[in-house]
A and B are shown apart, each in its own frame.
Chain A
């Protein structure tokens, strides 16, 4: 009897140590998964994709029926917008052409711009039932060119970044799960004045919005309704991807810097098709090696870093 009691205690302690070790080893944002995890993720991902197709179809049909009610009004608004966009399209075409010519005269390649990127289209095949994790799984992996730390967006704007890539699937961390270790260097574009630069410092649960901290040196005249886009200065993401709209402007807890509450422009709940953006310009990596260079560019350091 005594032996059994000891055995039970023994198993309990071993289990506890195993638990602490497992969680301790894995709770950080890992870029690389172990081989076993990758194999399981890829296998399950394939099955998830097969199941996902009919389920998605039924959900689509149901939501389509719901949407029929609003179609007329939406149609009117969209028609107006289309006519606006037509003139905009012409303008963009001209500007693009001009930009290309100017680039040619300067001898710069298209891929030198931090705006340029390669797009990889993917489908969301599962969403983590654990809501605190804010993760979705997509059906493209390293085989298709997806890698950790790439930006993920829908047609409306940024939704997150690739947390870790397996061979055929990848895990995407949504903006709503971003914390101080996942910063995005962002900006508000101004036509006649200097652009406003800052950093998205994570998601605030209470207000349900992203915190956009404006760096002190830049102009402070940010307004509600301004569009915040990625600036590409973090050295990881491409520039010019819309993130959200400024909802409210406050100061931080010390009253020194301005913080804008940004409402994400993409819908974080209903995500089906996404685009993974691979920045064409070389990313800033090996940041530990050239520390002296990185130090005067604070943004560069922080965004790229995963493990603090």
Chain B
């Protein structure tokens, strides 16, 4: 029963992303800067670091599922968020084998994941022709503001979920083994 917590939280985050623009102050929302909420991706990094063990792939599986859900609900172009999130979580999973799991690594990976995830989305949209902006503009008006805004959200998750995720991981993954 407790296994349903993670998908449920991710699902709530997907829906909350639809209201995310309302949270920005008008001055930023109306300016040229584009801030995109990657809350699902942020939470997936927590799952990868504190919930997954080396042999489990929950973060990657959830990345594909909820990436696809975002595609269906918010963009209509299927596959972009799905594969961006999926590939990013796969990279994070591989990197986690090299580094110890501690708070510095967590924030490093949070930043890397959000930056790479948004970059992949930009590259796919650029290839398809949905956006035509050059990469210098992309970095300035979208990548960096998005990264900073999502890192704030990433920090907020820390006190809420760090201990819980470790506890859930111990309870659920030990049982299944």
A27 within 8 A of B: yes
| Contact A127–B72 (Cβ < 8 Å) | no
> Which one of B34, B70, B79 contacts A26 once the chains associate, using CB atoms below 8 Å?
B79
B window 13-38: CB within 8 A of A? 14-22, 26, 29-30, 34-37
A128 within 8 A of B: yes
Count CB-based A-B contacts (< 8 Å): 97
State in angstroms the CA–CA spacing of A217 and B110 once bound together: 58
Give the chain A neighbours of B14 by CB distance below 8 A: 44
Known A129-B74, A132-B130; judge A18-B18 contact (CB<8 A). no
Give the chain A neighbours of B34 by CB distance below 8 A: 131-132
Give the chain B neighbours of A135 by CB distance below 8 A: 74-76
| Whole-angstrom distance between the Cβ of B41 and the nearest chain A Cβ | 11
A48 within 8 A of B: yes
| Contact A130–B36 (Cβ < 8 Å) | yes
Give the chain A neighbours of B20 by CB distance below 8 A: 129
> Which one of A19, A132, A137, A269 contacts B29 once the chains associate, using CB atoms below 8 Å?
A269
| Contact B76–A129 (Cβ < 8 Å) | no
| Contact B125–A129 (Cβ < 8 Å) | no
| Contact A23–B15 (Cβ < 8 Å) | no
State in angstroms the CA–CA spacing of A98 and B74 once bound together: 47
| Contact A26–B83 (Cβ < 8 Å) | no
Give the chain B neighbours of A19 by CB distance below 8 A: 79, 83
| Contact B78–A137 (Cβ < 8 Å) | no
The count of chain B contact residues (Cβ–Cβ below 8 Å) is 39
Give the chain A neighbours of B106 by CB distance below 8 A: none
State in angstroms the CA–CA spacing of A133 and B130 once bound together: 8
Task: Determine the residue in chain B with the shortest Cβ distance to A23.
Answer: B79
State in angstroms the CA–CA spacing of A189 and B121 once bound together: 43
Q: Mark A29-50, 1 if CB is under 8 A from B, else 0.
A: 0100100010011001001100
A55 within 8 A of B: yes
State in angstroms the CA–CA spacing of A135 and B72 once bound together: 12
| Contact A129–B72 (Cβ < 8 Å) | no
State in angstroms the CA–CA spacing of A15 and B29 once bound together: 35
Task: Determine the residue in chain A with the shortest Cβ distance to B142.
Answer: A131
Give the chain B neighbours of A129 by CB distance below 8 A: 17-18, 20-21, 36-37, 70, 74
Q: Mark B76-98, 1 if CB is under 8 A from A, else 0.
A: 11111111000000000000000
| Contact B21–A127 (Cβ < 8 Å) | yes
Give the chain B neighbours of A137 by CB distance below 8 A: 18, 73
| Contact B19–A55 (Cβ < 8 Å) | yes
| Contact B78–A22 (Cβ < 8 Å) | yes
Task: Determine the residue in chain B with the shortest Cβ distance to A124.
Answer: B18
* 6 nearest A-B residue pairs (beta carbon): A126-B18, A22-B79, A128-B74, A129-B17, A129-B37, A131-B34
Seen from chain B, the residues whose Cβ lies within 8 Å of a Cβ on chain A are 14-22, 26, 29-30, 34-37, 69-70, 72-83, 121, 124-125, 128-131, 133, 142
Seen from chain A, the residues whose Cβ lies within 8 Å of a Cβ on chain B are 15, 18-19, 22-23, 25-27, 30, 33, 37, 40-41, 44, 47-48, 51-52, 55, 59, 125-133, 135, 137, 163-164, 171, 205, 269
Listed by A's residue number, 10 A-B pairs whose Cβ atoms lie within 8 Å are A52-B19, A55-B22, A59-B22, A126-B19, A127-B19, A128-B18, A129-B18, A131-B34, A131-B36, A164-B76
